[in-house]
Structure 1
Amino acid sequence: MNSRFPVYGNPRRASLPRAGGAVGKRLRELAGEFRAAMAAGRYRAARQLAERALALAPGNPTVLGDYALCLMREGRHEDAYRVYRDIEALAPARQQQLAPTWIDGLAEACGWLGKHDELRRYGYRSLAAADARFSVRRQWAVPPGRPTPFDARQPERNVIAYSLYGAKPRYCETLVMNARIVGELFPAWTCRVYHDDTVPDHVRSRLKAAGTTLIRVDDALRLAMPGTMWRFLVLDDPAVARFMIRDADALLSEREPAAIEAWLDSGRWFHHMRDYFTHTELLLAGMWAGCRGVFPPIAPLMADFARSCPDERRFTDQYFLRAVLWPTIRDSVLNHDELFGFHDARPFPPHPPVRWRDVEFHVGSNASYRAVGGPSALADGAMQTVILDDGTNGSLRYDAIVRDGQWSLELPFFLIAAFESGDLSVSVPIIA
């Protein structure tokens, strides 16, 4: 399974209910344990904690929502679907105790179960409700008329922007692959990466060799906002005419160029895609594009927004898009979306066969849904050095955390295939 999950929950409320006395104290303890388990991806443990909370607070809507999400992350999609339908049957006053994204969970459960009509209905319902909440916020005027015509002769003014930080091959190696194929798929565009010093030298050198523009994010900006937001800084570059925002862990493919061409011909200022049943955000952070010249300087807007939600850095980019940019973008956006049909969406245009033969592939999918691993003599929590070597790029060093005497390293599926075919060696140094 390689899809990225939508953002569920509300960062400004606890996951489990509050109450007085010994029961309230125990519920608060369970809430802390639950959040830690979810953050660590220990969904079975989180589900058991939710069950214990339900024993103390039977039928509590908030706990039911958490319970359903845990069931879904465990792969128990039928059970999750039934719990979400129980939530749907609650009185409106009780439903309002939940974060509104419970409906996203129900849509996702329908997607896993192949309930296509229900998926479309619930996904559209979620998007329409979110649009009603956020479209009334501050707007900036979209310039009248069509944007300046696209100039394919100046690829440096047409930028595909990424953020990159850290030393994980799921991001680094996928982005290197994108840099190598971008000229085939988007010859009139330039790849640009906003990065910091945590990116390995061997990654930066290969990106540069592939023609990528590397921009080191200064310390002030790095501290002011999460790394996921750095790519939005392309909106502040006066030398840029058009931009695409993409995820470092998602591969470009033949499905996108025709959609981008349709956008460039549409006269709309912005573009957005949805291509999977979890794509129920108003603006997916790595699947949108636009023309410069609509928004005021974006860096201070992002810094101010990041200060307003300091505990939610993982999803700040997504929250920022829906709360700050969507109210304006919605007035001039071409959506490609065959699942939900939201906001006058069109089907994706015809395109050549996608080069990635992976059965799970879709636009925006996480390419690294499998891992390699093995035993380690290092202590739990230590970093095990892992060497990747395909015979052409030299020895590429990464580090994998050790847990329970084992190391594990997520790799994009094309490297997993190379490893399984013998074209990629994976080794760990022998400690004398």
Structure 2
Amino acid sequence: MIGAIENARSVKDIYPGWVARFYVSASVPEAVCDRLKELGADVVRVEGEDQYRNTLWRFKAFSDPGVEYAISRDCDSRLTRREAEAVDAWIKSRRKFHIMRDHPWHQSLILAGMCGAVGGAVDFDRLWLAAGEDCYGVDQNVLATLIYPMVQKDSLIHDSFLRYEMDSLKFPGQRMNGEFVGEVVDENGATDVTHRAALQAVESSALLRTGLTVKTRAAALLKTIKRKLAE
């Protein structure tokens, strides 16, 4: 909840003109919702039991025709200028979808907290029905199996390491102090030093970067073949 408040507070600085929107369950205290509203955020109460599938609620914004652009972020990370520069490049590209990967461990096709879409580009009802069994990572599964095949060719993709797609781009800005988009930050504002160490180890080694790219592109090709065979 601290992360939600911190992100709501920084929206005006990092994303001027944007509005933070939070989809919350009944378990979120009213005091937290009131504080988010005080900071200018929209708070949408959604009925239903607490379950893993609720991580899909955020994508309601992607299907909202009244939204010009929507970006999905996790509350355990913080908004940064690095990601905002990438979002600006995406908007200028006029592509319908935005995908970011900024760490060697960002190996999902689409990370749920590092993507964006033009309003109305995603059918939320179809996404919800495709979720299937309630389990940890259900949001990542649906994004990979349903959304990625639909949007890949109309996406701007910023990828610092894996480069699954041949037309993926580097991030437009310079990395500062080992930071990366989607970095987990705890309630005290601390980050995990092992995550930054892993990133810096790969960045400083051309051999590791090359090996990682070859391995992940082979894995992506295998996934594509399996998906085609299943169709």
Same fold (TM over 0.5): yes
Check the 8 A contact 1:225/1:302 in 2, yes or no: no
CA spacing shift, 1:350–1:224, aligned 2, 3 Å: closer
CA spacing shift, 1:414–1:205, aligned 2, 3 Å: farther
Query: Post-superposition shift, 1:256?
Result: 1.1
**What is the number of residues matched between the two proteins?**
190
Partners in 1 of 2:164 and 2:52 — Cα distance? 30
Match of 1:269 among 91, 96, 99: 96
* 1:81-119 Cα deviation digits (max 9, x unpaired): xxxxxxxxxxxxxxxxxxxxxxxxxxxxxxxxxxxxxxx
CA spacing shift, 1:345–1:294, aligned 2, 3 Å: same
Q: Which residue of 2 aligns with 1:413?
A: 189
**1:173 matches 2:173:** no
Query: Post-superposition shift, 1:414?
Result: 5.4
The letter of the residue matching 2:164 is F
Query: Post-superposition shift, 1:260?
Result: 0.8
CA spacing shift, 1:367–1:328, aligned 2, 3 Å: same
**1:364 matches 2:182:** yes
Q: Which residue of 2 aligns with 1:421?
A: none
Q: Which residue of 2 aligns with 1:315?
A: 137
**1:204 matches 2:33:** yes
Query: Post-superposition shift, 1:360?
Result: 6.0
Check the 8 A contact 1:224/1:303 in 2, yes or no: no
Match of 1:324 among 130, 146, 157: 146
Query: Post-superposition shift, 1:192?
Result: 0.2
Partners in 2 of 1:289 and 1:413 — Cα distance? 25
Query: Structure 2-normalised TM-score?
Result: 0.75
Check the 8 A contact 1:255/1:363 in 2, yes or no: yes
Match of 2:170 among 347, 353, 358: 347
CA spacing shift, 1:174–1:330, aligned 2, 3 Å: same
Q: Which residue of 1 aligns with 2:20?
A: 191
Correspondence 1:133-172 to 2 at 5 A? 172=1
CA spacing shift, 1:412–1:262, aligned 2, 3 Å: same
Partners in 2 of 1:238 and 1:338 — Cα distance? 31
Query: Structure 1-normalised TM-score?
Result: 0.41
Q: Which residue of 2 aligns with 1:238?
A: 65
Check the 8 A contact 2:63/2:121 in 1, yes or no: no
Correspondence 1:22-421 to 2 at 5 A? 172-219=1-48, 226-295=53-122, 297-299=123-125, 301-306=126-131, 308-310=132-134, 312=135, 314-343=136-165, 344-350=167-173, 361-368=179-186, 411-413=187-189
Larger-gyration structure (1/2): 1
> Equivalent residue of 1:413, what SS?
coil
Q: Which residue of 1 aligns with 2:221?
A: none
Query: Post-superposition shift, 1:242?
Result: 1.1
Partners in 1 of 2:44 and 2:20 — Cα distance? 11
* 1:207-254 Cα deviation digits (max 9, x unpaired): 1111000000123xx579722111011123221121101111110111
CA spacing shift, 1:262–1:360, aligned 2, 3 Å: closer
RMSD after superposition = 2.2
Partners in 2 of 1:274 and 1:412 — Cα distance? 25
Q: Percent identity?
A: 32
Check the 8 A contact 1:225/1:303 in 2, yes or no: no
CA spacing shift, 1:233–1:225, aligned 2, 3 Å: farther
The letter of the residue matching 2:76 is D
> Equivalent residue of 2:20, what SS?
strand
Partners in 1 of 2:189 and 2:10 — Cα distance? 16
Check the 8 A contact 2:62/2:121 in 1, yes or no: no
Unaligned segments of structure 2, at least 5 residues: 192-231
